Amino acid sequence: MLAFLVQRISQAFLVMFVISVIAFAIQDGLGDPLQEMVGMSVSEEEREAIREELGLNDPMVVQYLRFAGNALQGDLGNSYFYSKPTLEVIAEHLPATLELVIGASLIIVFLSVPIGVYAAIRPQAWLSKFFMGVSTVGISIPVFLTAIVLIQLFSIGVTVNWFPSDTGWGQWLNDFFSTEGGLPSYGRGDELTHLFATWESGFFTGTGLMHLILPSVSLASIMLPLFIRLIRAEMMEVLQSDYVRYARAKGLSAGRINFLHALKNTMLPVITVGGVQIGIMVAYTILTETVFQWPGVGLMFLEAITRSDIPLIVAYLMVVGLIFVVTNTLVDLIYGLVNPTVKLTGKKA
């Protein structure tokens, strides 16, 4: 176990090192700090002097070490646009993204477990087939398109007049297919509760929660089909196993077998895969936040790209890289603790 721990953690450090090299290369290749600092009128000699003073003429390795040293002390430079430390800017935007991810995760957990379990217990029921069909279609719909459709349906609203409205039935059908709209689709609302530090929460006010609905449903929609399929597949495998057959032979009730014995062993792989998927969600938050103008780190990153705010881009890469590496390492370690056979594959690779 110790060997596995050491190997996994040293690998995490190696990956973080590679990420920092890439981030440094981007900063070095794209950003010319001089251009941001001085005007046109500064002569070439003066520029050279400033370069020397800033250490831009030092060898690459020295520059990288300085960059890495500063990064370790929590200094990733100042954002050009916000003119304050990049990490501070990220800290201001991170709570919005985290709340979005939390909202989406809640939806995923509370929908995927019952649906997945149901589809595994009754694979032939029409409702299971319906859910599986919907999840196949769901995988093919890009997250930004789901978001746009949701905005059209529940924010703008759709009025349908496919049926003749002079009959009672036609009017009823028209009303049935029309949607109200009215849900907010822009930003987080203006009533946020201050929790601590830079965390402004939308979880505690009505408008804050209303603003959360559409973005978190959109974000959840991309992961939900994956989780339903995963839970169904794992559960079906568990239901085939000997101990479940034994429990049936013993005469335990179906509910007890399914929910107490089978579900427990189903959730183990699901939780580890889930850990990795939540890291991957970060990529999808960029898309979701763009559609809903959600003031989180994803939108901040995209704006940084259009503004060529190199230090902020680099800081975002480092922070997101760190989040990925930490979640992946933790998931691997937890899995290694729970399921010791994984150590063998860990050694081989």
| Binding residues for another protein (CB under 8 A) | 11, 15, 18, 26, 29-30, 136-137, 139-145, 148-149, 151-152, 156, 276, 279-280, 282-284, 286-287, 290-291, 301-302, 305-306, 308, 310, 313, 317, 320-321, 324, 328, 349
Task: Give me the least distance between CB of 203 and another protein, in Å please.
Answer: 27
CB of 224 to another protein, least distance (A): 16
- For another protein, give the closer residue by CB, 306 or 341: 306
Q: How far is the CB of 264 from another protein (least distance, A)?
A: 27
Nearer to another protein among residue 231 and residue 281 (C-beta): 281
Residue 183 or 257: the one with the smaller Cβ distance to another protein is 183
Residue 70 or 136 having the CB closest to another protein: 136
Q: How far is the CB of 6 from another protein (least distance, A)?
A: 16
Question: CB of 172: closest distance to another protein in angstroms?
Answer: 23
Q: Which is nearer to another protein, 115 or 278 (CB)?
A: 278
Residue closer to another protein by CB (options 10, 253) is 10
The minimum distance between CB 324 and another protein, in angstroms, equals 6
Q: What is the 3-state secondary structure (H, E, C) of the chain?
A: CHHHHHHHHHHHHHHHHHHHHHHHHHHHHHCCHHHHHCCCCCCHHHHHHHHHHHCCCCCHHHHHHHHHHHHHCCCCCECCCCCCEHHHHHHHHHHHHHHHHHHHHHHHHHHHHHHHHHHHHCCCCHHHHHHHHHHHHHHHCCHHHHHHHHHHHHHHCECCCCCCCCCHHHHHHHHHHCECCCCCCCCCCCCCEEEECCEEECCCCHHHHHHHHHHHHHHHHHHHHHHHHHHHHHHHHHHCCHHHHHHHHHCCCHHHHHHHHHHHHHHHHHHHHHHHHHHHHHHHHHHHHHHHCCCCHHHHHHHHHHCCCHHHHHHHHHHHHHHHHHHHHHHHHHHHHHCCCHHHHHHHC
- Measured from the CB atom, the residue of 151 and 235 that comes closer to another protein is 151
- φ, ψ for residue 5, nearest 5 deg: -60, -50
| Nearest distance from C-beta of residue 48 to another protein, angstroms | 24
